[in-house]
Structure 1
Amino acid sequence: MNTPYIAIQITENVYTEMKALHVRAAKPISDEDKALGADLLAQTYVQLLDTCFTHLLDELNKTQADKMLQDASKVIHKVQSEAQHYIGWLVKFIANKRVPPVIHHFHDMVHVLNLNGQTHPYIVIPVTSTYAESASDVMFALANKESEKLNEGVELLIEAIETALVPLVYTPKDLMGFNFVISKTINGVINVLHRLFKHTLRKLPPHIQEESCPPIAKHFEVFLIRK
């Protein structure tokens, strides 16, 4: 790819199931496939949060146990749980014919890439060159234990989340064409979880030790920016 992007690895199982579902969605889908699509979507969100945050927070808590980091981990798990709950709830309001566009949308976001010498399926989200340069500068600084860059890193991470919300949340919601009441409810849930997420992230920098900065930079370099 010629443009910068975020690449989030997903499991082979989710990728294989999604590919098969994409093929079946060329025809009217069954209730079973609708339920499978919802389950794959929920699994994808859980994997995204695990890749971006859960694994990192778990590692930080092993080396520098801190209540704020532990609370942040609980928030991530809450967001994962809420995402799974509401996706299951929404299935009841989705006509089968509305599901294929969402399946095709997610299918088009997944690419099999060879990164770091290994080939895996990834969800790919483009970012601007300006964002990529800023993120690269921050990761380089953190790799050199410049802990004063942590706040800037958090803001870039929040920007990445907000960029990802469009293709991962808002576009699928719009494709499903919910009525005003359901759509308003979904937007309310998204906004509450998003505010909780941002508030939690912005409280973390003072609780992260200088020695943890290089591992954080290495963690985000795995998926945050590719050219």
Structure 2
Amino acid sequence: MNTPYIAVQIKEDVYTQMKALHQRASKPISDEDKALGADLLAQTYVQLLDTCFTHLLDELNKTQPDKMLQDASKVIHKVQSEAQHYIGWLIKFIANKRVPPVIHHFHDMVHILNLTGQEHPYIVIPVTTTYAENASNVMNALAQRDDTRIEEGVELLIEAIETALVPLVYTPKDLMGFNFVISKTINGVINVLHTLFKHTLRKLPPHINIESYPAIAAHFETFLIRK
């Protein structure tokens, strides 16, 4: 790939099931496959937040336990739980025939990449060159324990999630063609969770020890791929 991108590794069994579901979706799908598609979608959201935030917060809490960091971890888990709940709720409102386009969309986002010495399936989300360059500058500064760039680092992580919302949330919603009432409800839920998420993360910088800055920079490097 010639453009920079965010790469979120997904579980092998999720990839295997998604690939098989993609093949079956060339024909009318069953209720069971519709439910499976919803479950795989929910697992993808959970993995995205784990990759970008949960693992990082867990590591920070091990080395510098802090109530604000612990609360942030709880918020991330709440967002994950709510996402799973609402996906299960929404699937009841759509006809089976509306699901295949979403299955094909997610299948097309998955690529087999060798980023760690072994090949694994990843959800790939392109980012702009400007974003990648800015992220590189900020992460290099954090790696050197520059205490003036931590707020920028948090904003970059937030922007990564906001970028991912388009292909992982809004595009699938549009493909499923919900009516106005359901679509408005979904948008409301997304906005509430997104606001909670951003508000929580923006309170973190004063609670992060400068000694942890290199670890944050290294963490970012694991999923932001610059080509």
TM (norm. structure 1) is 0.99
Per the alignment, residue 93 of structure 1 pairs with 93
1:135 aligns with 2:159: no
The structural deviation recorded for 1:175 is 0.3
Per the alignment, residue 52 of structure 1 pairs with 52
Per the alignment, residue 2 of structure 2 pairs with 2
Q: Deviations over 1:161-209 (max 9, x none)?
A: 1111100000000000000000000000000000011101110000000
For 1:23 and 1:48, locate their aligned partners in 2 and report how far apart those are by CA, in whole Å.
24
Counterpart amino acid of residue 136 in structure 1: S
Contact preservation (8 Å) 2:5, 2:127: yes
Counterpart amino acid of residue 115 in structure 1: L
Counterpart amino acid of residue 128 in structure 2: T
Q: Deviations over 1:83-116 (max 9, x none)?
A: 0000000011010000000000000000000113
Per the alignment, residue 174 of structure 1 pairs with 174
For 2:142 and 2:190, locate their aligned partners in 1 and report how far apart those are by CA, in whole Å.
30
1:218 aligns with 2:218: yes
SS in 2 for 1:92: helix
Per the alignment, residue 194 of structure 2 pairs with 194
Task: Give unpaired runs (5+ residues) of structure 1.
Answer: none
TM (norm. structure 2) is 0.99
Per the alignment, residue 124 of structure 2 pairs with 124
The structural deviation recorded for 1:148 is 1.7
Contact preservation (8 Å) 2:4, 2:224: no
For 1:191 and 1:62, locate their aligned partners in 2 and report how far apart those are by CA, in whole Å.
31
Within 5 Å, which residues of 2 pair with 1:6-17? Answer: 6-17=6-17
For 1:110 and 1:97, locate their aligned partners in 2 and report how far apart those are by CA, in whole Å.
22
For 2:147 and 2:33, locate their aligned partners in 1 and report how far apart those are by CA, in whole Å.
48
The structural deviation recorded for 1:224 is 1.8
Contact preservation (8 Å) 2:109, 2:125: yes
Task: Give unpaired runs (5+ residues) of structure 2.
Answer: none
Contact preservation (8 Å) 1:7, 1:223: yes
Counterpart amino acid of residue 51 in structure 1: T
Q: Deviations over 1:69-96 (max 9, x none)?
A: 0000000000000000000000110100
Task: Give me the identity figure in percent.
Answer: 87
Q: Deviations over 1:132-187 (max 9, x none)?
A: 00001111111111122110111111211111110000000000000000000000
The structural deviation recorded for 1:225 is 3.0
Q: Relative to structure 2, which stretch is displaced further, 95-104 or 117-126? A: 117-126
Aligned length: 227
Q: Relative to structure 2, which stretch is displaced further, 12-21 or 155-164? A: 155-164
The structural deviation recorded for 1:51 is 1.0
1:110 aligns with 2:110: yes
Per the alignment, residue 164 of structure 1 pairs with 164
For 2:138 and 2:69, locate their aligned partners in 1 and report how far apart those are by CA, in whole Å.
21
Contact preservation (8 Å) 1:136, 1:225: no
Counterpart amino acid of residue 220 in structure 2: F
Contact preservation (8 Å) 1:7, 1:226: no
RMSD: 0.7
Contact preservation (8 Å) 1:135, 1:225: no
Counterpart amino acid of residue 149 in structure 1: R
Per the alignment, residue 70 of structure 2 pairs with 70
Per the alignment, residue 183 of structure 1 pairs with 183
